[in-house]
Structure 1
């Protein structure tokens, strides 16, 4: 019995010690569990990857949505700006049309005024033409009359269209003017060189002419009121007596006998001959 037990105990000890080459059910279970773990890890990794992709896709979606929103806002703003520009252009078009209409009205008004002005100018031209014709006829009539033979009274000499009387009496400037007026004329007014030359041919002594500055000193005027334009003063004349009391106030003018052309101022009370002038 003891041997049997010994054998049994030996067998159990033998059985309890696993063999290194054993390929039984326990080894298969281990491999199964390892495979399960690997699959689990793969599933976890896959899940993590899917979660990562989902997060990335979600961020992409959000980013894209933000960009789309920005693009939408930009498009909306651009559209609003375009609409504003369109409205502005429309208003400008209306203003331009209104301005064109107003310009057309002004043009029509100006054309009407121009037509009126043209009509008035035409009427004025015709009136002036008629007046010119009338004046031409009057001129021709006067020329015709001027061509008729004119004569001066006895004792008078004719030059151009005037008659001249050379006195032989002597007296003051006022006395000479009174005599000329009594003869229907006045003291001579010399208005051209030709007239001065004509008169010098008959002068033999100092002779009064119708020039004086009685109204205002050194402001010489002819008896008809016209200012002095033609001048034939002698050297250093007029001098109003040069300040010498013996000559007095020299306000009247005579022609010098020395050259029969030069003028000199003299006291109006001096006794000289005179020249009268009148029309035939």
Structure 2
């Protein structure tokens, strides 16, 4: 009788172990299938995100076309005015071309590009008399580190504007807006 009882216990326990082992194996297989499905989904999403990133990067860094007669310098469009004008006349001329005096993001690239063209060029900066601060025509403040040694200079009794002195590093100088200089226009799409 004890042997029969042990046999029943072993069979019952063994059966439960078999069922448990079978359930665990099925469960593990289901988890593995789930993991594989998640991996495939993540791979598809990763590919889609990479494609989106590539398209966005191309759109942001694509070469902008500059309308004639502007020339591209990095990602900006410029035109060198060859006839000396006052700062206000130069700005009016640039505006007539659909642009404004240059307020470059990359001042040193602009300087390098026009280094062989001219020496002193009006660009789009002036002193805001009310705020007593130098600003680009875009309204942004000039960086103090862009001034040539000894600049900015203040002209007594006259409004001061900014020009690039290509032989100076950093290249910005200031002078009376009434002086005549060549200039650089910038087109902003």
Q: For the superposition of Structure 1 and Structure 2, which TM-score range results when normalised by the shorter chain? A: 0.5 to 0.7
Aligned to 1:275: 184
User: Deviations along 1:36-63, whole A, 9 cap, x unmatched?
Assistant: xxxxxxxxxxxxxxxxxxxxxxxxxxxx
CA distance in 2, matches of 1:230, 1:142: 34
CA distance in 2, matches of 1:239, 1:149: 37
Normalised by the size of structure 2, how large is the TM-score? 0.61
Structure-2 change in CA distance of 1:147 and 1:267 (3 Å): closer
Aligned length in residues: 141
Greater Rg, structure 1 or structure 2?
1
User: Deviations along 1:103-154, whole A, 9 cap, x unmatched?
Assistant: xxxxxxxxxxxxxxxxxxxxxxxxxxxxxx99x94x6544333455543233
Aligned to 2:35: none
Aligned to 1:8: none
CA distance in 1, matches of 2:170, 2:159: 19
> Please, which runs of 5 or more residues in structure 2 have no aligned partner?
1-47
Kindly report the root-mean-square deviation, in angstroms, between the aligned alpha carbons of the 2 structures. 3.0
- 1:63-82 to structure 2, matched below 5 A, reads none
Contact 2:111 2:166 in 1 (8 A): no
Partner-residue secondary structure (3-state), 1:168: strand
Q: CA deviation at 1:224?
A: 0.7
- 1:117-156 to structure 2, matched below 5 A, reads 137=52, 140-146=54-60, 148-156=62-70
Contact 1:165 1:276 in 2 (8 A): yes
Normalised by the size of structure 1, how large is the TM-score? 0.43
Q: CA deviation at 1:158?
A: 0.8
CA distance in 1, matches of 2:116, 2:99: 18
Q: Which has the higher helix share?
A: 1
Q: Which has the higher strand share?
A: 2
Which of residues 226, 232, 236 is equivalent to 2:146?
232
